[in-house]
Structures are given as structure tokens and as C-alpha cells.
Structure 1
């Protein structure tokens, strides 16, 4: 159905998409290179509640494009002439949407919604982050803010 070169190109595109989808972290313990040597505001507080939540997986455009390409190729083998064109279009749409849905559901992971009461002002804030740092109600914590990435870490 597919020649060897087509299979290699599709496999390479999908592999690149999978690798680039693993390049980010939502962990409070992991800093990106751009966050290094940047001042952060530190506020002390107490954890009021910790709730387990699911963090939805991220869409990778390259992987979605690969799914659309595969769906288009598969759909174009339906019928002949105009039927093959229509099948290719429908297959591309189905492959792209199907790949996006799979990425969101399979890429979801456990996370924590941490609500903190800040010292002094008594203001309450809530942050969702990876569930890789154990936090519990009543625990003293630091709320680190800066550069658009806030995190809650033990004090």
C-alpha cells in the first residue's frame, strides 16, 4: 500500500513529534533554561488544601500533522477518481482529529491543585502543578512567582 520511502518519512515525522512533545515540564522542581538567574518573588504561607487533579495532555502539531497525513493516505485508497479525493479529505480530517484526541487523553497526568493562605495579607492563591513534590494541608510553604511560572515548594 505505501512504498518504503513514504513509510520512512511518516515514521520519522511521528518520532520527531513524540520527542518534541516530551520537552516540557510542569514540575515545581524543574526549571527551564530561560528561568535560570531570574529573580523570583518569595511569599510564605500555609497549605489550606491539596486536591488531586488530572492535567490534560498537550497537542503536538507535528504529531497531529502525521496523523492527518496517514488518515489522508488511507482514505485516498477508497474508491477511485472523485471517491479517492473525498476519501483522502475525510481520512485526513479524521486522522488529525483522532490524533489530537489521543494526545489529550493519553498525555494526561496526575497533578495537584494546591491552595495556599499567604502570611500577612491572608490572601488565598491556588496553583496546579505536577504531583512530584508531596504537599499536605497545614504544611508551611514558599510561593515562588516570576516570569509567568508560579510554584509551591516546601519551606
Structure 2
């Protein structure tokens, strides 16, 4: 038995055909109208840098004028024997974190977001320690005390 054909009442433009697949209407966002938008891995990376930097700023008043930036990873960060994960400019009081070298050198299995966050935090601690001329363990002395 032949299927009944749908008859379009108005001619559709080619642009409308690309968005209106099989007459189902326009696509909606995956999260729907009542849920917040999903965060990407880049957003999570930036959020981890920002929260760790604000925590260290609350402990060390010397960091009030320091600037924390995130870049993809410029070519001058690649050397013969290593790849820079961050760059500290002491005279400008500025730290640039290179996202791709930090994330790409992770050897994580699927679902280990916590370990990725800890690695990013450790990079922030080491970069700030370099800026202040201290050991990373000195930045938050009470935090690593075992009870």
C-alpha cells in the first residue's frame, strides 16, 4: 500500500529546508528552555584558573595587582626539550597560562575530571609561587596539613 504524501502548502526556501528536517520544525537547544546551558571544557578550564587565582589573592595581598590570562599556546612556548605550560612576567606582574600544553599532556582516562582540575590548580600554584619567589607549598600552608 503506498504511503500518503505530505503536500506543502507554501513553497519552502532552501535555507528553511536545511533547518526544518522532515517537517519536524526547528531544532531546539539540547538543554531545553528550562535548564542552564552546558559548560564546555574551555569554560571549566577558565573557571578553575579564576577560582584558584581568587583563592590565592585572598591569602596573599601581593597578588591584588597581578593579572592572570589564558592563551591557547603560542609557538614561542615550544622548546627543544620541553613545552611551557605558563609564562610569568615578573616586571608586569602577569601570568599567562597555556591551555593546550596543560590539557594535552594529561594522561587521563575517561571521566577523570577531578584529576584534570587538580592538575590545573597545581599549575596555578606553581606559577604564582614563581611570581612571588616562594615554594608552592608555602602559598597555602594550612590547606595541606593532615589531621
TM-score (norm 1): 0.23
Higher helix share: 2
Bigger RCO (CA 8 Å, 6+ sep): 1
The structure that has the greater radius of gyration is 2
TM-score (norm 2): 0.25
